[in-house]
Amino acid sequence: NSKFRTIDGSCNNLKQPLYGKSFTPLQRVLDSDYSDGFTLPRVAKNGQDLPSARLISTTTRFNEIVEDPNFTSLLVAFGQFLDHDTDHVPISTSAGEAVECCTEEGKFVDPKTLPPEERLLCFPIEVPRNDKLNRKCINLVRSVSAPRLDCSAGPIEQINQITHWLDSSNVYGSLDNVATELRTFENGLLRTIIGEDGQEQLPIDPDTSCIGPTGSCALA
């Protein structure tokens, strides 16, 4: 019955009010395919591990610069902006700290040296021999899981901490308290600060030490 749409994305679908709401599971195009049906990564039909994701990407993709007469780099920037309006999946942490599955030298961390909770979160990617990265390991940590909307038991799903809609949630926030922090409550304007270049920009999040133009530095 609200005159305006909700900030958290709920009630956009009146038959399924929680559909697209922030902090609910991402919607899948295909069903998950965990090897144990619940949480372990997918394996090959013969039960063996699948090839390294790094090997697949370097074998099938080439970092070539090909100019296109119809598009500029603005297409990439705008596409990234749209993506950040529909999904943002947080990475799991341990006691609030980042989980490191690789050493600084780029080698695999011995799982036996990790706390039990971190062993379940680590899925480092193996780097093939003669790779230009000149390391053996790429850090990969499991995403934060989400409770199923029907509260049933089943495969884990990944949480989307922003709304699933194209509603500029990456500008205005996806929770009432975030939207409140971003607003001036004067003439419908957002809060801003003056940057080093003398121009207005989004305010810096006081809860982080981040400095720079990335989205994680702003309250939104």
C-beta of residue 128 within 8 angstroms of C-beta of residue 57: no
Which of these is catalytic: 54, 84, 148, 183? 84
The residue whose two tokens read 């922003």 is 162
- Parallel, antiparallel or unpaired: strands 157-160 and 137-138: unpaired
Q: What is d(CA 62, CA 71) in angstroms, rounded to the nearest whole number?
A: 19
DSSP code string of 29-60: SS----TTSSSSPPB-TTSPBPPPHHHHHHHH
Q: Quote the DSSP letter at residue 159.
A: E
Please confirm, yes or no, whether 164 is among the known catalytic residues: no
Give the active site residues. 84
